[in-house]
Copies of this chain bind each other. A is one copy, B any other.
Amino acid sequence: MSAAPRFGRIGEGLVAPAEGGERFETLLAAGGGRVERIVSLGQSDPPGFWYEQEGEEFVLLLAGAARLGFADGTEQALAPGEWAVLPAGCRHRVAWTDPERETLWLALHLPPD
């Protein structure tokens, strides 16, 4: 017997995150990877802060607007339906999210090779 399937709506309960931080929810964690739903409302990472992960990440913007920043000084704007692959070791930060409406992200973290 395998576990039963689970279902949900990615936009369910899409409300402004509590003061001071994005809201992270893990939808699935297995095999060293995980699926996260992230809701932002104006948050960004401080200059000089970098995410730098051992595994690859795939992120899809589903609502709102955001900009990712990279260690070479470039930024990439993301609109709904746009995705980014963040390779292992690729330093990145959230440079901006829309302060006027919720930004909804789906992040897929793959285990290290």
A residues sitting closer than 8 Å to B (CB atoms) are: 2-11, 27-28, 30-35, 55-56, 58, 60, 62, 68, 70, 76, 78, 81-92, 106, 108, 110-113
Contacts and interface: CB of A to CB of B under 8 A. Distances in A.
A3 B90 contact: yes
B9 A81 contact: yes
Contacts of A28: 56, 58, 85, 108, 110
Given A2-B88, A5-B76, 18 more contacts: A2-B90, A3-B88, A4-B87, A4-B90, A5-B70, A5-B84, A5-B90, A5-B92, A6-B84, A8-B83, A9-B82, A9-B83, A31-B56, A31-B111, A33-B33, A33-B108, A33-B111, A58-B108
A112 B88 CA distance: 20
B8 A82 contact: yes
Nearest to A104: B81
A87 B2 contact: yes
A105 B56 CA distance: 20
A60 B10 contact: yes
Contacts of A27: 58, 83, 85
